[in-house]
Every structure is written in C-alpha cells, then in structure tokens.
Structure 1
Amino acid sequence: MSVEIKKIVVGLDGSEKSFNALKEALNWAKRLEAEIIAVHVLPIPSEFVDLGGMIIEIEAELRKEGEAILERGAEEAKKEGVPYTGVLLEGNAPESIANYAEEHDADLLIVGYQGKSMLSELIMGSVTSKLLNISKVPVLVVK
C-alpha cells in the first residue's frame, strides 16, 4: 500500500516550535511536491464574550497578530518555492484544526510539540495531545 501526500496542514500559533513544524512541513512538501495549508486559530476565550464592545477590539488585535503569523509562514514557503495558503480559524484550537484538516482532505497534519504558552498548556491541556486523540488525519509532531 502506498500513501500519497499532496496536501499538508500545519498549525501555526506563532511559537518557534510551530515554525519548526512549518520548516519540517516545507521539507516534506518539497520532496513530495505537496502544498502547505497553514492554519492559525484565533484564541478568543468564551469569557471575553461578556465584554461587549471590547471584544471587537480584542478580536481585531488577535486577527492582526494571526495574519502576521500566517504571513511569516508565507515568506518561508516562498523562499522554498512551496505552494502555500494561510487560513485563520476560530474556536477551540484542537477541534478547529482537526476538523479543517479532515474537511479539506489533508493527507498529513504537522504540529509543533509545544505551543506558545506552557502555562496555558498546563491549565487547558496540550493542543498537540488533544489533536493526537481526535484527528482522523495522520499527525506528525515536530520537537
């Protein structure tokens, strides 16, 4: 049985570990002539909803930061000559990433071992760990 990998989804949260995952994804994509779809999940906690008008400002700032992260990924992909698309998602990070990868027929999902905030991972649980449990798409974890 052979597996063809033509579409790779990579999670980018802005951490260096996530950009290590992107570098690995770019290496795979070059060898396999695959495309990269980088996803960034806007981290808008549900308790922010009660803040009314302030949520609009917070969301705008988070969106701007997410776009900058995806743009950095685009620059890396351009250097390597790899087709790249950046996508902003909203919601629970592991579920949003897993659902996106499945719904868009990804062949592989690549993520960093440890994300942006060690404290948030201790409190909420590791995004990577949750992805490993819920993703129907094979997951490659990069240290």
Structure 2
Amino acid sequence: MFKKILVAVDGSKSSFKAMDKAIELQKLMEAEIYLICVYKHHSLFEASMSIERPEGMDIPDKALSEYAKDVVNHAKGVAEEKGAVKVRGFVKAGRPSSVLVKFAEEKGVDLIVVGTRGTHSDKDGMLLGSVSHRVASKAKCPVLIV
C-alpha cells in the first residue's frame, strides 16, 4: 500500500516515536523510508547579525544545516539498529510544514509521518503541534500523526 514513507525528524522524542511507527509500517509493506530534517532558513539580515562575529563562527544557516545533518544521520543509525532497511536521509531549509508537503509531492511520497507535541502557542494548534497541523491540512497524501 505505501511504497515511500516520509518521516520528519528534529531530534525530539515525538519525532523518534513517529520514526518508530514508520519502521513498523515499513516491515509490513516493504516501503522506503525518507527521513528529513528541516531547519529554518535565515534571511541575509538575520545571518549578518548586527555585531562582528568571532573568527570561525558559522553563520546561522551553516550551523543549523550541520546540526540537521547530525540529526538525520543519528535518526538513520537508530532506524537501522531497529531493523529498518532502505532508509534515506535529507536536510532542507525553509518553513518545515511547507518543505515537508513540497518534498512529499516531488518524491511521490505515499505517507507522511510526523510527531505531535501538545502546544497552545497558536489557535490553529490547540491540540496538535503547529507543524503537524499544517502538514495534515496541506498534504495531498495521507498524514499519520504519532
């Protein structure tokens, strides 16, 4: 039924629970798992910072990109330890919900799996986290919120 499963990972317990569920589904359906970590892209203004940076200090995008790669590589290792096969990792910059939906469409993903965090930070995400809420409302494929 599902051949390509996209899992959003950000290093949180919630995202690892989502990955565990995707691994269970993979074992039932022999699907490929795409792990993706999306970091917020900083504008040139944000990246410039209004103070002089010490030598060797990375601009925010570079530092966040490296951290996101670490998150994906760690998640991939954990997934493989749990018996997952055909696992690919990706790192993208941008607004997480938009990037997840666009990536899913581009790759022909059959299912998006995201974790949820209880939040009351905005009216749209009273029960779901704002990213999971937006992905569920915008995705053209099924979304499993764990």
TM-score scaled by length of structure 1: 0.83
Matched, 1:108 2:111: yes
Aligned partner of 1:128 among 107, 110, 132: 132
Contact map agreement 2:48 2:59 (CA 8 A) in 1: no
CA distance in 1, matches of 2:7, 2:23: 10
Counterpart amino acid of 1:136? K
Matches within 5 A, 1:18-57: 18-46=15-43, 48-49=46-47, 51=49, 56-57=58-59
CA distance in 1, matches of 2:48, 2:3: 42
Counterpart amino acid of 1:113? T
Percent sequence identity over aligned pairs:
29
Aligned partner of 1:70 among 72, 80, 83: 72
Question: Which structure 1 residue ranges, 5 or more long, are not aligned?
Answer: none
Matched, 1:11 2:8: yes
CA distance in 2, matches of 1:92, 1:15: 17
Counterpart amino acid of 1:122? S
Q: Secondary structure at the match of 2:59?
A: helix
CA distance in 1, matches of 2:63, 2:47: 15
Of Structure 1 and Structure 2, the greater helix share is in 1
Contact map agreement 1:77 1:83 (CA 8 A) in 2: no
Counterpart amino acid of 2:15? S
Counterpart amino acid of 1:112? G
CA distance in 1, matches of 2:114, 2:38: 13
Answer with 1 or 2: which has the greater Rg: 2
The count of corresponding residues between Structure 1 and Structure 2 is 135
Q: Secondary structure at the match of 1:98?
A: helix
Q: Which residue of 1 aligns with 2:62?
A: 60
Matches within 5 A, 1:92-103: 92-103=95-106
Superposed CA RMSD in Å reads: 2.4
